Amino acid sequence: MTAETVALLGAIAEQRWGLVTTSQAERAGISRMQLSRLSAAGAITRVLQGVYRMAGAPMLEHEDIIATWLATGGDSAARTTTGAPGLVVAGIDATLLHGIGDFYPEGHTLISPTRKGTRLPGVKIKIRTLTPEDVTYVQALPTLTIERTIADLVESWTDRSLISDTIRDAIAQGRLVHPQRLVEHLAPLAAANGHDVNDGAALAQELFDLAGTSPSGWAPRV
C-alpha cells in the first residue's frame, strides 16, 4: 500500500514541480497521518506547512515562493470574472521571480480577488481586481507583470531607491516594454505621491528620473 501511495503522490507532484500539498493528497484519499509516516520514512520531505517534496525531486529555485502559492490554494483557485488567475504572486516575490531589483526575501505577498485567509506566517494576501493583461507566468507561476509589479511596489510604499534599482534592471534587460501600461497602473497612485490626480505619466517620469534611464519609446515630459 505504501508503494501505491507514493506512486499516487508522485503522479500528483509530477504536475506541480515535484511538490504535493496535504489538500491535494486528501482529495486523492491520502490522509495526513499517511503523509506524516511517509515523511518519517524519507519518501517525502516537508517544505513548509502543508507542502511536501517527493524524494528525488530537486530543490527548486524560489521553492519557498512556489510552496507558499501551493499552500494557500493557488493550484485550486478559480479564475476571476475578468479571466485572471485566482491567486497571483506579487510584491518582492514578483521581483525575485522576474530577476530584477535588489531585494531580499521578506515574507510573501499574493493577490486574490476576494478575502482569503491563511495561517502561514509572513504571508500577506491583498484583495485586488486583476485582468489577464496584469499577469504573466514565471516558472509556471501566475505573477504580476513587470509593469504591474513596479506599481505594486509603489503602492506598498517601498523605498524609492529599491524601486529605482528594479526599474533600471528591467530596462537594462529590455523587459519593461509596456510603459503606457505602467502609466495606467500608476494613475490611481499619482495623487498620493505628490502629483495631479490620475497623472500616472508624471509619476512614471519621476521614477524613470530616479532610475536614471527610461524605456525605449518613452518621451520625457518637459
List CB contacts of 106: < 8 A, sequence separation 6 or more. Answer: 92, 122
pLDDT of residue 156: 94
**Cα–Cα distance list, 220 to 102, 147, 174, 185, 214 (Å):** 26, 18, 18, 18, 8
Residue 147 lies in a domain: yes
Q: What is the pTM of this model?
A: 0.92
Query: Do both 81 and 18 map to the same domain?
Result: no
Is the same domain home to 76 and 150?
Answer: yes
The count of domains in the chain is: 2
Q: Show the beta-strand stretches assigned E in 8-54.
A: 19-21, 44-48, 51-54
Print the domain residue range for 22.
Answer: 2-54
Are both 181 and 124 inside the same structural domain?
A: yes
Phi, psi (degrees; rounded to nearest 5) at 124:
-115, 130
Instruction: Check whether residue 45 and residue 84 sit in a common domain.
Output: no
The pLDDT of residue 222: 58
Give the span between the Cα atoms of 51 and 1, in whole angstroms.
Answer: 21
Per-residue pLDDT of the chain (222 residues; tens, 9 = 90+): 588 888 989 999 988 899 999 999 999 999 999 999 999 999 999 999 999 999 988 899 999 999 999 999 998 888 999 999 999 999 999 999 999 999 988 889 999 999 988 888 899 999 999 999 999 999 999 999 999 999 999 999 999 999 999 999 999 999 999 999 999 999 999 999 999 999 999 999 999 999 999 999 898 765
- State residue 220's pLDDT score: 73
Q: What contacts 3, CB < 8 A, 6 or more positions away? A: none
Angle at 104 between CA 67 and CA 179, to 5 degrees: 90
Q: Give domain status of residue 218, yes or no.
A: no
Distance separating alpha carbons of residues 149 and 140, to the nearest angstrom: 17
Q: Any idea which residue has 501511495 for its cell? A: 5
| Whether 108 and 126 share a structural domain | yes
pLDDT for 221 equals 66
Residues 91 and 68 in one domain: yes
Residue 219 counted as domain residue? no
Assess whether 185 and 78 both reside in one domain. yes
- 84 and 184 co-located in one domain: yes
Q: Which pLDDT belongs to residue 82?
A: 94
Quick check: is 121 in a domain? Answer: yes
Cβ neighbours of 1 (radius 10 Å): 6
Query: Could you give the CA distance from residue 114 to residue 101 in angstroms, rounded to a whole number?
Result: 29
Spatial neighbors of 52 by CB under 8 A, at least 6 apart, are 9, 19, 20, 21, 22, 35, 38, 39, 44, 45, 46
Q: Which residue has the cell 483557485?
A: 77
